[in-house]
Amino acid sequence: MEVALALDRNSSVALYRQIYNGLREGIVSGRFEAGTRLPASRAFATSLGVSRITVTECYDRLISEGYLETRRSSGTFVCTRLPELDLYASGATIDHHTQGQRDVPMRLSRYGASVNTPLLPPVSPEIIRLDRPGPDVRAFPKKLWTHLCTRRMQGECPDLLQYTLESNGNTELRVAVAQYLQKSRAVVCDPSQIVIVNGSQQAIYLAARVLLDESDFVAIESPGYRFASQVFASQGANLLPIPVDRNGMQIAQLKKHRDKYPKLVYITPSHQYPRGVSLSVPRRMDLLGWAKDVGSLILEDDYDSEYRYNERPIPSVQGMVPNAPVLYVGTFSKLLFPTLRLGYLVVPRAFQDVFARAKLFCDLQSSSIDQSVLADFLNEGHLEPYVRKMRIIYGRKRALLIESLRRHFGRRITIYGDEAGMHLLADFQTSLSEDDAFDRVLAAGVRVERLYWHGSSAIQRAGHVQFVFGFAAISESDIVLAAERLAHAFLL
């Protein structure tokens, strides 16, 4: 084994002492685990550029102190039991990997403290994941994407591998996105208003960083998108949950907060997450008029509006009135494949420079290669036929999931939302609590998503539990199996 030690030949500390300290610290901290064989003194001395005697003296001292031991005809090894263990009571153990870190204070910022929560544990591969409303990557045209990528990489464009001055995104891609949004979503914008981001999550984060100060109010849908609310809360904002009904966010309830005019209103109007309803046109106009009157901004998250199965897509809120006070968010990560971390944020003209600068400070730029390939994908007309194909696939899966659930649960289940998107909301009539139902479903081999209600879950109706089902990414056979497992879990 080669051992890397940093030696400072200009230091007043002797080389012998530096080597000794480096080896001892590595042993105590667990970098060199018990039983690790160290290099022979001659080889170690050569690699460090010191005399063999210097290394031999270090080894001898560490052996005498109980950190190293020699084994006949085998070499020098780290001892199994270290001297530090004798400082503890009999039977106590020491974690060598954290021993050297015990004195490091954990001084977090307010933001750090707000996100210092345990991550979800990994899920067994046997679990059917209905808690991920992502795309079916098996249907993505990988050969076509590979061809486009290869063509770009083989072209005469070394800038693809360099930093770029376009922190707000590749001009070619921004032009293509502007044309796509004008045609498919009735978004009113030009390329200069578009900031290319690493998925819609980064767009939400940048909006929170740029627009919100501590104690500002943000109106959110309730139930709503958990991660957006957590981003706003991490910036110190106060959340105002506004109830959602069959016509979307209740704007009348929003207007009642006269003493807490929100600086930002976060909505998912084309396919509300998680209820799946659309914000009605009268409420859209009401929201736009109210926002202009009070000086609020609207953050419109349009994450999967391409997929409507019985009707045409609904135009964006952003494009309904001239100079709308709307920041419009969309993503290609859900539309194409999740590891394509590309989305877009359309901002009013006055915000162009500040958001471009915020993007620069965040990560300099999004991947130039991915942006160029995506621009080709859009400009050559590959997106529209792909969306048409996936609309058929997802519509079939949605219908199969609904049919399978109703077969097992009959009148004890109600499906909410429009015939759109990549998820649906199911209400189960049951005597189980939400916690018990969730645990039983998971034990049966299915993971579903719980609703996020800011502050309290007391809005849930007694005798009912509701879960979100993301159906797009799983196979049709797993959809049928998941419904069977759910029925077994609820009937236990």
Residue 472 clears pLDDT 70, i.e. is over it: yes
pLDDT tens digits along 179-196: 999 999 999 999 999 999
Mean pLDDT (the chain) is: 89
Q: What percent of the chain has pLDDT over 90?
A: 63
- Higher-pLDDT residue of 45 and 370 is 370
Q: Are 393 and 306 in contact (CB under 8 A)?
A: no
Number of H helices, E strands in the chain: 16, 17
Q: Tokens 């994941």 correspond to what residue? A: 129
Residue 101 clears pLDDT 70, i.e. is over it: no
Q: Which residues pair with 219 in a beta bridge?
A: 240, 265
Residues 341 and 400 in one domain: no
- Higher-pLDDT residue of 53 and 292 is 292
CATH of residue 23: 1.10.10.10
Residues 381 and 392 in one domain: no
Is 63 domain-assigned? yes
Q: pLDDT tier at 279 (50, 70, 90 boundaries)?
A: very high
Q: How far is CA 167 from the centre of its chain?
A: 21
Q: Tokens 């969306």 correspond to what residue? A: 387
Q: pLDDT tier at 94 (50, 70, 90 boundaries)?
A: very low
What confidence score (pLDDT) does residue 264 get?
A: 97
CATH of residue 429: 3.90.1150.10
Q: Compute φ and ψ for 28, nearest 5 degrees.
A: -65, -40
Residues 435 and 306 in one domain: no
What radius of gyration, in Å, describes the C-alpha atoms of the chain?
A: 29
What confidence score (pLDDT) does residue 49 get?
A: 87
What confidence score (pLDDT) does residue 194 get?
A: 98
Residue 461 clears pLDDT 50, i.e. is over it: yes
Q: Are 421 and 304 in contact (CB under 8 A)?
A: yes
pLDDT tens digits along 133-150: 789 999 999 999 999 999
Last residue of a domain, one of 385, 415, 447: 385
Residues 373 and 249 in one domain: yes
Is 232 domain-assigned? yes
Residue 90 clears pLDDT 50, i.e. is over it: no
Residues 365 and 396 in one domain: no
What confidence score (pLDDT) does residue 103 get?
A: 61
Residues 284 and 372 in one domain: yes
CATH of residue 377: 3.40.640.10
Residues 64 and 91 in one domain: yes
Residues 424 and 311 in one domain: no
Q: Which two tokens stand for residue 327?
A: 């920041």
What confidence score (pLDDT) does residue 91 get?
A: 44
Average pLDDT rounded to a whole number, residues 450-462: 72
**Residue partners of 485: CB distance under 8 A and separation at least 6:** 128, 441, 444, 445, 446
Residue 12 clears pLDDT 70, i.e. is over it: yes
Is 121 domain-assigned? no
What confidence score (pLDDT) does residue 284 get?
A: 97
What confidence score (pLDDT) does residue 260 get?
A: 86
Is 46 domain-assigned? yes
Residues 296 and 376 in one domain: yes
Residue 455 clears pLDDT 70, i.e. is over it: no
Q: Are 130 and 397 in contact (CB under 8 A)?
A: no
Q: pLDDT tier at 459 (50, 70, 90 boundaries)?
A: low
Domain holding 53, by residue range, is 15-99
What confidence score (pLDDT) does residue 334 get?
A: 94
What confidence score (pLDDT) does residue 100 get?
A: 46
How far apart are alpha carbons 485 and 479 in whole angstroms?
10
Is 113 domain-assigned? no
Average pLDDT rounded to a whole number, residues 393-401: 96
Q: pLDDT tier at 25 (50, 70, 90 boundaries)?
A: confident
Q: pLDDT tier at 462 (50, 70, 90 boundaries)?
A: confident
Residues 209 and 317 in one domain: yes
Work out how many domains the chain is built from and give that number.
Answer: 3
Q: Are 425 and 274 in contact (CB under 8 A)?
A: yes
What confidence score (pLDDT) does residue 93 get?
A: 46
Q: Which of 122-131, 386-395, 417-426 has the lowest mean pLDDT?
A: 122-131
Residue 453 clears pLDDT 60, i.e. is over it: yes
Residues 191 and 333 in one domain: yes
Residue 226 clears pLDDT 70, i.e. is over it: yes
Is 8 domain-assigned? no
Is 123 domain-assigned? no
What confidence score (pLDDT) does residue 72 get?
A: 80
Residues 287 and 303 in one domain: yes
Last residue of a domain, one of 385, 419, 453: 385
The pTM of the full predicted model, rounded to 2 decimals, is: 0.78
Last residue of a domain, one of 385, 416, 440: 385
Is 114 domain-assigned? no
